[in-house]
Amino acid sequence: MTWSPGEDQIAVQRAPAPGAAGGTYRAFGETLRGLKTTFARVVEGVHTIQYPEQKVPVYPRFRGRHKLHRFEDTGLEKCVGCSLCAAACPSDCIRVVAAENTPEHRVSAGERYAAVYEINISRCIFCGYCEVACPFDAITMGHDFEMSDYNRSDLIFTKEMLLAEPIESTPLRTEGE
């Protein structure tokens, strides 16, 4: 009994056995097909993104460089120095030293504030757990990803740096893009 493929069987297209004439014809035809394929790429155009000038827009939930926030009305820092972010951090790169707010020197809205708030960016894995852990939404992940530097000590971001608006902003992907 000979085997016959059913309708659900995909027909296997076999190339002709390489012979002198058949092989030459096949090679020539396939060469032309190849030339057509590569030429189609020229017609199609370039896909390169000229990176430093041109950036890939990031998604809104992209986890980039951290930001610390202030209240917009009062200008007080949201961070109360609770160190929950430092506790949540898997790579242990956040250092918080808290201090008491006094009526003369009020920095944050709560009882205490972060006197020192440092993130060692060179160790951060951008997991976003700090953002999740924060009870006051004081720290969020921003969109910037260009943080390379020449010096390791320059990669320890202080509170002032994290509070400041980033100089260069990363394009954000718009709806439907």
Partner 1 sequence: MSLAIAGYFEPWWIQIVKALLIFGVALGILPLIIVYERKLLGRFQGRYGPNRVGPFGLLQPLAEIIKFATKEDVRPVTSVGPLFVLAPVISIITAVAAFALVPFGDAPHIFGTRVGLYGVDPSIGPLYVFAFGAIAFYGLMLGGWASGSKYSFLGAMRAAAQLISYEVSQGLALIGVIITAGSLSLTAIVHAQVGMWYFIPQFVGFLIFTIASFAETNRSPFDLVEADAELVAGYFTEYGGTRMVAFLFAEYLNMMVVSGIAVTLFLGGWLLPFGIHPPTWVDPFIVLAKMMVFISFFIWVRATLPRLRYDQLMSFGWKILLPLATANTLVTAIIVVAVHT
> For residue 129, which amino acid is it?
Y
Nearer to partner 1, 18 or 57 (CB): 18
User: Pattern 2-41, binding to partner 1, x per CB under 8 A?
Assistant: ------------------x---x------x--xx-xxx-x
Nearer to partner 1, 38 or 102 (CB): 38
Q: 45 — phi, psi (to 5°)?
A: 100, -175
42 binds partner 1 (CB under 8 A): yes
For the four alpha carbons of 126, 129, 132 and 135, in that order, the dihedral sign comes to negative
Nearer to partner 1, 47 or 105 (CB): 47
Give per-residue burial for 42-74: e unless 16+ CB within 10 Å, then b: eeeeeeeeeeeeeeeebeeebbbbbbbbbeeee
DSSP secondary structure letter of residue 68: E
Residue spans of alpha helices (H) in the chain: 20-44, 84-88, 129-133, 159-163
Residue 138, classed as helix, strand or coil, is coil
Shortest distance (Å) from residue 54 CB to partner 1: 11
Among 50, 54, 153, 174, binds partner 1 (CB under 8 A): 50
Binding window for partner 1 (CB under 8 A); candidates: 5-13, 43-51, 81-89, 123-131: 43-51
Shortest distance (Å) from residue 16 CB to partner 1: 17
List contacts with partner 1 (CB under 8 A): 20, 24, 31, 34-35, 37-39, 41-42, 44-48, 50
